[in-house]
Amino acid sequence: MSLIPKSHPRAKSLQIRERLVQGFDHGLVAKEGLMAHGRGEAFDYLLGEKTSKSAKNAIKAAALMLLSARSPVISVNGNIAALCPKEIVQLANTVNAKIEVNLFYTNQKRKNNIVKILKKHGVRQVLGTNRNSSRRISGLDSARRVVDKDGIFQADVILIPLEDGDRTLALKKNRKKVITFDLNPLSRTAQTADITIVDNVVRAINGLILECKKSKKKIRKAPFNNKKNLSACVLEIKKNLSRRLPNA
């Protein structure tokens, strides 16, 4: 039961934090994941805790990229499994993507917990747990280099929510198209991905599912420039700040 009063001006953000803490108590989230969330919260505060125009623009581009992929894969970590497992499964079903668990702080028990929660939401197969089908991504030292031959290894488009910059760089070097949700427009992941959705994944994922359903009928190519869109996002943050601190 939530202890946050509905009337609290930042109730939504605190409820998201609560969900993550519950995910930690249930063995889904790593301690470090709580801190990564804190970094995200700080940027969300600057964004005004709402989906910006540039995020909507990136969501549209991401939907088209996922729908036109040969073999899209959604990479899931502990934070994502705690925050939006149902939506991950919905998105995978909508764009016909595989789901693979891939953890930075790898731990078999946590992996199993993540698989369990995804299966509870209806997915039949979760990749990333079978040692016999593991392969290595080159140019990466962390545990995240181990991937599934039927999943990330062969994928052309990978959705990597809340990602670490090292892996984003390695995936790009391996010529993968990368889509990410990252609240920090300045992170290495945000700057390296092909499409960066600068928004809280909890808000943006529903928008992405909706956009995929809408675009499914009319896939077309639309130009998207990630660098330009990130600059637009930083301008939006600036405007947001000067609205709140008009004399600064």
* Interacting residues toward Mg ion by CB under 5 A: 164-165
At closest approach, how far in Å is the CB of 66 from ligand ATP? 17
Q: Is 43 in the site for ligand ATP (CB under 6 A)?
A: yes
Query: Contact with ligand ATP (CB under 6 A): which of 19, 23, 24, 37?
Result: 37
Which residue lies nearer to ligand ATP by CB, 153 or 181?
181
Shortest CA distance to 145 belongs to which of 161, 128, 130?
128
CA distances from 50 to 14, 25, 212, 215 (A): 14, 28, 20, 23
Structural element, H or E, at residue 24: helix 11-25
At closest approach, how far in Å is the CB of 12 from Mg ion? 26
Among 126-134, 136-144, 161-169, 219-227, which window interacts with ligand ATP (CB under 6 A)? 161-169
Which residue lies nearer to Mg ion by CB, 87 or 164?
164
Alpha-carbon distance of 240 to 189, in angstroms, equals: 23
Buried b (16+ CB within 10 A) or exposed e, 153-167: bebebbbbbbbbebb
Q: Is 158 in the site for ligand ATP (CB under 6 A)?
A: no
Query: Taking the alpha carbons of 62, 220, 149, 92 in that order, is the dihedral positive or negative?
Result: positive
SS3 201: helix
Q: Is 164 in the site for ligand ATP (CB under 6 A)?
A: yes
Instruction: Give the rounded distance of the alpha carbon of 245 from its chain centre.
Output: 31
Question: Scanning residues 178 to 197, which ones bind ligand ATP (CB under 6 A)?
Answer: 181-184, 187-189
| Cα angle value 70/82/160 (rounded, 5°) | 30
94 binds, among Mg ion, ligand ATP, none (CB under 5 to 8 A by kind): none
Among 39-47, 64-72, 110-118, 232-240, which window interacts with ligand ATP (CB under 6 A)? 39-47
Where do contacts with ligand ATP occur on this chain (CB under 6 A)?
A: 36-37, 39-40, 43, 162, 164-165, 181-184, 187-189, 200-202
